[in-house]
């Protein structure tokens, strides 16, 4: 075998090796996708709550937080991704109501006379580092401005964190403006460490939020062409 042939074989082997290593590295760098759900509800009985005295979680809420979450089956309805070349895949995507894991819990909250269920939404997203994390506006999640305004941010520090910045919108528009809430507007502005599949309760005298983050095997989808035109 000539020297030229040997060199050609070596170069081909090296090229194959680099391609394999590159493919493995690219696969390893694929960001983890999480399923995030949020249940927003208002305290119907405000007679014993003030902005100065935080209320403790009621027995009903404490019982809800101890419930086991339903498991996701191996074949999820949202794991098939679109294959539109040259498009940027979004970092989050809204889920349909039948894809949510906390429907039983939101139904229970809704059935309790002490609370008024305002919204139950869920979505898929990655969890970037804190410096790169982006907010998701409540309106984009389908929560109307007549209910609440604000944003949610999932981010990765040493641990996974969920940052909630939500202001409840009162039916009395004289109390505060929807777009520039005054100090009298009830609000939750808090970041909490999230343990996977644990229910976390963000509380405020006027309203509450139950949140959950779970690891997902789903793939963030590129939107259909019709929705991008």
CB within 8 Å of 55: residues ≥ 6 apart: 43, 48, 49, 203, 205
pLDDT in tens, 13-25: 565 655 554 544 4
Nearest residue to 101 via CA among 78, 130, 121, 80: 121
Q: Who's near 189: CB < 8 A, 6+ residues apart?
A: 164, 165, 166
Q: Could you tell me the CA-to-CA distances from 148 to 3, 7, 197, 208, 212 in Å, in that order?
A: 74, 68, 25, 12, 19
Check pLDDT > 90 for residue 189.
Answer: yes
pTM of this structure: 0.71
Whether 138 contacts 148, CB under 8 Å = yes
Task: Extract the tokens encoding 115.
Answer: 């609370």
Query: To which residue do tokens 């983890």 refer?
Result: 32
pLDDT of residue 195: 95
Distance of CA 144 to the CA centre of its chain: 17
pLDDT digits (tens, 9 = 90+) for 27-72: 446 789 999 999 999 998 765 454 444 455 567 777 778 766 666 5
């Amino acid at each position: 075998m000539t020297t030229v042939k040997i060199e050609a074989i070596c170069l081909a082997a090296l090229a194959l090796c680099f391609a394999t290593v590159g493919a493995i590295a690219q696969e390893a760098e694929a960001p983890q996708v999480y399923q995030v759900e949020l249940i927003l509800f208002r305290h119907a009985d405000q007679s014993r709550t003030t902005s100065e005295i935080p209320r403790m979680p009621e027995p009903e809420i404490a019982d809800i937080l101890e419930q086991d979450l339903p498991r996701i089956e191996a074949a999820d309805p949202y794991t098939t991704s679109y294959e539109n070349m040259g498009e940027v895949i979004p970092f989050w995507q809204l889920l349909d109501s039948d894809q949510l894991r906390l429907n039983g819990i939101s139904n229970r909250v809704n059935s309790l006379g002490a609370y008024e269920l305002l919204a139950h939404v869920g979505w898929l997203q990655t969890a970037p580092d804190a410096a790169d994390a982006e907010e998701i506006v409540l309106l984009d999640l389908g929560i109307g401005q007549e209910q609440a305004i604000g944003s949610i941010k999932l981010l990765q520090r040493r641990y996974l964190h969920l940052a909630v910045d939500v202001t409840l919108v009162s039916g009395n528009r004289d109390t505060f403006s929807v777009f520039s809430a005054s100090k009298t507007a009830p609000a939750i502005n808090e970041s909490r460490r999230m343990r996977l599949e644990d229910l976390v309760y963000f509380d405020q005298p006027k309203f509450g939020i139950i949140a959950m983050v779970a690891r997902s095997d789903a793939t963030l989808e590129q939107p259909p062409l019709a929705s991008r035109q």
